[in-house]
Amino acid sequence: MFYILDIQEKVGVEAQNLKGDTVDSIKERLEESHLKEENGVFLGVTEIKKLGETGVILPEKPYIYFDVEYSALFFQPVANEMIDGYVTEVAEFGPFIRIGPVDALVHISQITQEKLIYNPEQDILASKDSTIVVKDGELVRAMVANSSISDERTRINLTMKQDGLGLTKLLKKKPAEKKTEKKTEAKKEKK
């Protein structure tokens, strides 16, 4: 889920970085210091709402500190949220799916009810009859099982086992097949 959060904090900017516009210098410093945190993945400052008129210099600190109120855009996956993404890498234990600004894992046991086998030569996961093939670039629809984002690491687990989830190309075929079956049944009934 993408969301905007309003934040108030003191922001330190090095004096040599204040040559240009103060607001631009503050935005740049905020984006450098807030990559991942408990609010999720920091994507950027959307608006500086209020900036203290003067900065404060603290002894033995190379920064000028400003009181800042701003809005920032974050990405935080939420359990049971449905997402669309694409496969960025296939491993023996499952594919990594790009969702927004991060990659998430779908464990091989969470892809389908069918047993999948990893083929290292082709770098794919496939069912025995090859009706399901997971490879780089495939579009998928999945659901967030759980997530944890912090400065140290990002861990997001997805599932694709439920109805309406899986490889997008296979999801699009299912409704068309059902319509064709219904038409055939209706023609038989008319005869």
Check residue 13 and give its pLDDT. Answer: 86
Contact 33, 12 (CB under 8 A): no
Torsion of CA 14, 16, 20, 26, to 10 degrees: -10
**DSSP 8-state assignment for residue 78:** -
pLDDT for the residue numbered 139? 96
Per residue of the chain (191 residues), what is the pLDDT tens digit? 889 999 998 988 887 777 677 888 888 888 887 766 677 888 889 999 999 888 888 888 888 899 999 999 999 999 999 999 999 999 999 999 999 889 999 999 999 988 999 999 999 999 888 788 999 999 999 999 999 887 778 899 999 999 899 999 888 665 444 555 555 555 555 55
Q: What does 80-146 look like in DSSP terms, one character per residue?
A: T-EEEEEEEEEETTEEEEEETTEEEEE-GGGT-SS-EEEETTTTEEEETTSSSEE-TT-EEEEEEEE
Burial of 18 (0-12, 13-18, 19+ CB in 10 A): middle
d(CA 96, CA 66): 41
Cα separation of 167 and 27, whole Å?
Answer: 39
Domains and CATH numbers, the chain: 2-75 (3.30.1490.120), 82-170 (2.40.50.140)
Does residue 66 contact residue 52 with C-beta atoms inside 8 Å? yes
**Which residue type does 1 have?**
M
pTM for this entry: 0.73
**What pLDDT digit, counting tens, does each position of 142-190 carry?**
999 999 887 778 899 999 999 899 999 888 665 444 555 555 555 555 5
Please give the Cα distance from 38 to 36 (Å, whole number): 7
Report which of 102, 80, 4 is spatially closest to residue 44, judged by C-alpha positions: 4
Q: For residue 68, what pLDDT is reported?
A: 93
